[in-house]
Amino acid sequence: MNSRDNDRQRFFTRRAALLAGGQFGLLAALVGRMYYLQVVESERYHMLAEENRINMRLLPPSRGRILDRFGVPVAINEQNYRVLIKSENTPDVSAVLDRLAMIIPINADEKTRILKEIRRKKKFVPVTVREFLEWEDVARLEVNAPDLPGVTIDVSERRFYPNGIAAAHVLGYVGAPRREDLTGDPLLELPGFRIGRSGVERAFDKPLRGTAGASQLEVNAVGRVIRELDRQEGDAGRDVVLTMDMALQRSAMRRLGDESGAVVVMDIETGGLIAQASTPSFDPNAFTEGLSNAQWRALADNERAPLRNKAIAGEYAPGSTFKMVVALAALEEGVITPKTSFFCPGHLELGDGKFHCWKRHGHGHVDLVRSISESCDVYYYEIVRKVGIDKIAEMASRFGLGTDLGLDVPGERTGLVPTKSWKRAVIGQPWVLGETLVAGIGQGFVLTTPLQLVTMTARMVNGGKAVFPHIARDVTRRGDLTERVPREQVSIGVDAGHLDLMMKAMAEVTLDPRGTAHAARIKVPGLSMAGKTGTAQVRRITRREREGGVRTNDELPWRFRDHALFVGYAPVEKPRYAIAVVVEHGGGGSSVAAPIARDILTETLERDPAKLAPGADVAGLRGPSRQGT
């Protein structure tokens, strides 16, 4: 072997060694990687494999009920029957949908939506065809099941309000979460999950929701469910107990009838709202199922505003119901005494203008009590000139007028009691004396809500305690009672003798034959009420109209008619309940609002829990009843 052959052999030997070394290195790296994956990272990859095999799904909890003061359910959960279709079990989806449309209504748009959703989802994932089926529809589907391959019936829950329109504004309704409602809580992203959108449903949404459960499902590589491995039910939402009497609420709604207005009844000692009616109303069950555009426009465009809770958000000139606040301001400032009187010729002249009394030829000589019982306007024109608007506004705020009362459901409006500084800041003009005269009889810039008027009345007849209105009494879960802590009641700082004088004057409104509401007094033996009527103009009456004879309310278009108001309390001897009634464009407070208040206060006294015998059916007429949780 020559030297050239030796060199070639050494070259190949080196190459073989390098190749062997490279192979060994690769093998070592592979072994090391396998060791790392199977030993060091084994726990992590085991967990990932399990997560790929096991799917965790949230189980929506049952929403808590809402009950009235006697435990009568006013918001419950019903079974919601849904029809689903699974395309993998359906040879011809379009044909099956056509057969299905012969049993339950499915229009062309709905069919297009269903087909689009089926194409978007995996074949084994069911698609909802229709919800909220009646039992008759379910029965027909079950009978025709052999001709509907891939179609199944599913049962979930839906919110139901047994009393329909009667308590819609108080309870509110539920709806699907909007984008701005999503806070990262996965419960809100579950299909079909509903949250409170208004009223009590919204104010107490979180305790009503409950806590979600969880289900462990074994799935295959494409996500098909193989079996359920474990299931843990969630906790149902808490029940919310209201201060409201549902039977009285229904009566208040019936008594208002076709009128557009509001009634609020309050316990003067606790501030609990026994009834809070607003008409016209709407059916909250329709919101649960979903409104069409036409249905929504019909509600939104209605001039009588059925969607507005007039009891807490309707702002109205209080008219003569405001006179008691003006009188108390004058008494406190020493401008008048209980015996102060003025002569009412039917008007008061100020500069070149005349400010008229509602009684064209006047009341003659009038003292304080008579000025309220007969509602003399001239008396208040005289005293407000000396008191001034700022002192009146300060007294009004003590009674809750023009303020936020902190109601525990959303939607409360604050109204307005003007001051000199308010007008300069908002309108940019100085206050003038004529505006004080108009404000003195509850007109002009003055605006109040029925909730504020009933709070004013309660504070006036409960000894001057600052009660605050509320609708929820407590929140419960399976016997665990969580009382809501009431706001501390403090004195509003008004002389007790002056308050007694106002109560005496309010009693004369109904009990004295000359009182403006004598005809509307309670005539049931042993029952009585006191109060104050009010009639608020919504337009200015011109001199020509006044001289030619003002047309009656019935002769005017509805929106130009006066508002009718009444505030009162019962019984006269020992006050327990206060009421405020406002009828939009209803006419006179004595002829329209006072009779409504009389009838509702009569039933309120008859349903007083203190008078009911043990074991009595305190719920009265329960209305439509349906099974639910």
Residue positions annotated with a catalytic role = 320
Do residues 40 and 32 touch, judged by C-beta distance below 8 A? no
Do residues 472 and 242 touch, judged by C-beta distance below 8 A? yes
Residue with tokens 């069911």: 126
Do residues 329 and 385 touch, judged by C-beta distance below 8 A? no
Beta bridge partners, 128, equal 84
Amino acid letter at 190? L
572: helix, coil or strand? coil
Q: How many CA atoms lie within 13 A of 512 on its CB side?
A: 18
Amino acid letter at 208? L
Read off the DSSP letter of residue 36: I
CA distances from 563 to 254, 440, 525, 584 (A): 19, 17, 31, 5
How many CB atoms neighbour CB 219 within 10 A? 14
In sequence order, which residues have a C-beta less than 8 Å from that of residue 513 and are 6 or more positions away?
none
Do residues 393 and 328 touch, judged by C-beta distance below 8 A? no
Closest CA to 379 of 413, 333, 347, 403: 347
- How distant is the alpha carbon of residue 483 from its chain centre? 21
Q: How many CA atoms lie within 13 A of 454 on its CB side?
A: 35
Burial of 444 (0-12, 13-18, 19+ CB in 10 A): middle
Measure the CA–CA gap between 393 and 329, rounded to whole angstroms: 9
In sequence order, which residues have a C-beta less than 8 Å from that of residue 51 and are 6 or more positions away?
none
Extract the tokens encoding 52.
């790929």
E-strand stretches of 317-426:
341-344, 347-350, 353-356, 364-367
- Taken as a whole, the chain contains a residue count of 629
Do residues 195 and 175 touch, judged by C-beta distance below 8 A? yes
- How distant is the alpha carbon of residue 482 from its chain centre? 22
Do residues 471 and 335 touch, judged by C-beta distance below 8 A? no
Measure the CA–CA gap between 348 and 378, rounded to whole angstroms: 6
Burial of 339 (0-12, 13-18, 19+ CB in 10 A): exposed
CA distances from 629 to 66, 84, 345 (A): 10, 24, 65
Read off the DSSP letter of residue 465: B
Extract the tokens encoding 598.
């009389």
> Measured at the alpha carbon of residue 343, what is the angle toward residues 337 and 347, in degrees to the nearest 5?
120
Q: What is the DSSP string of 493-541?
A: ---HHHHHHHHHHHHHHHHSTTSTTGGG---STT---EEEEEEE-SSPP
Extract the tokens encoding 569.
């309390």
Do residues 266 and 454 touch, judged by C-beta distance below 8 A? yes
Burial of 610 (0-12, 13-18, 19+ CB in 10 A): exposed
